[in-house]
Amino acid sequence: MVPKLILASSSPFRRMLMQNAGLAFDAHAAQIDERAVEAPLERAGATPDTVALVLAKAKAKEVSDRFPACFVIGSDQTMSLGPQTFHKPKDMADAVNHLRVLSGKTHRLNSAIAIAYGGDIVWEHVSHADLTMRLLTTDFIARHLNRVGERALGSVGAYQLEGEGLQLFSRIDGDYFTILGLPMLPLLEKLRELGAIDA
């Protein structure tokens, strides 16, 4: 019998991507303190790719330790502008600051995935998307955040590209799945290779 799949995430967007691809899976959020994992990496000057990958592997491994007979998919995403790594805004004032800093510039989303089986990482991958935000006025930022409300706090960039956040951009280089934080094409290819899904 083929081991079942588990998505180590509570993200509704990641679950939706898996469901839309026709995958049968369970979802169990990893029980890790992400900030505690991130902090020493950032102090050591780790790249945004490394931070995302370490977190994706930590999530996959924690859930795999609980469900060793399943293929467990862990994922994480960081956002970077040059050397600066961004985190989810703490409050609406922080969201305003995020959008001011990103306005008129190109930032990068770094989406990492890892697959664990039997408590061991069997595969890891990082995909990138580069997003260019148009120049935003202070008044527009205020109106935009007033419309989207607290949803702005749920994303590292203070926007949801699958919603009104799309209006903030002038150019996007990268695939939709990477932007939503789960690069589906390389993931599906690996799951087929592992015999975890129908090939």
Report the SS3 class of residue 23: coil
106, 130 Cβ separation under 8 angstroms: yes
119, 70 Cβ separation under 8 angstroms: no
197 DSSP 8-state letter: S
List the catalytic residue out of 26, 33, 49, 76: 76
The reply to whether 139 belongs to the active site is: no
Residue 49 CB contacts under 8 Å (≥ 6 apart), including other chains: 78, 110, 112, 126
C-alpha atoms less than 13 angstroms from C-alpha of 117 in its C-beta half-sphere: 14
Catalytic (active-site) positions: 76
